[in-house]
Chains A and B, each alone.
Chain A
Amino acid sequence: LAKTTQPISMDSYEGQEVNITCSHNNIATNDYITWYQQFPSQGPRFIIQGYKTKVTNEVASLFIPADRKSSTLSLPRVSLSDTAVYYCLVCNTDKLIFGTGTRLQVFP
Chain B
Amino acid sequence: DTAVSQTPKYLVTQMGNDKSIKCEQNLGHDTMYWYKQDSKKFLKIMFSYNNKELIINETVPNRFSPKSPDKAHLNLHINSLELGDSAVYFCASSRIGTEPYEQYFGPGTRLTVT
**Complex contact B102–A44 (CB within 8 A):** no
**Complex contact B104–A41 (CB within 8 A):** no
Chain A residue contacts of B21, Cβ below 8 A: none
Q: Looking at B4, B33, B43, B99, which has the most chain A CB atoms within 10 Å of its CB? A: B43
**Complex contact A49–B43 (CB within 8 A):** no
Pick from A10-18, A74-82, A84-92 the stretch touching chain B: A84-92
Chain A residue contacts of B48, Cβ below 8 A: 96
> Hey, which bits of chain A sit against chain B, CB under 8 A?
32, 34, 36, 41-46, 49, 85, 87, 89, 91, 93-98, 100-101
Contact of B101 among A43, A91, A94, A100 (CB under 8 A): A91
Q: What is the number of contacts between chain A and chain B, taking CB atoms within 8 Å? A: 51
Chain B residue contacts of A98, Cβ below 8 A: 42-45
Chain A residue contacts of B107, Cβ below 8 A: 41-43
**Complex contact B55–A42 (CB within 8 A):** no
**Complex contact A44–B90 (CB within 8 A):** yes
Chain A residue contacts of B102, Cβ below 8 A: 34, 46, 49
Q: How far is the CA of A85 from the CA of B41 in the complex (A)?
A: 9
Residues 70-101 of chain B: 1 if any A CB is under 8 Å from the residue's CB, otherwise 0? 00000000000000000000101000000111
B108 within 8 A of A: yes
Given A44-B90, A49-B99, A87-B43: A94 and B105 within 8 A (CB)? no
**Complex contact A43–B99 (CB within 8 A):** no
Q: How far is the CA of A85 from the CA of B42 in the complex (A)?
A: 11
**Complex contact A96–B105 (CB within 8 A):** no
B103 within 8 A of A: yes
**Complex contact A46–B104 (CB within 8 A):** yes
Q: How far is the CA of A100 from the CA of B92 in the complex (A)?
A: 19
Q: How far is the CA of A21 from the CA of B103 in the complex (A)?
A: 21
- Give A39 Cβ to nearest chain B Cβ, in Å: 11
Chain B residue contacts of A87, Cβ below 8 A: 43
**Complex contact A43–B106 (CB within 8 A):** yes
**Complex contact A49–B101 (CB within 8 A):** yes
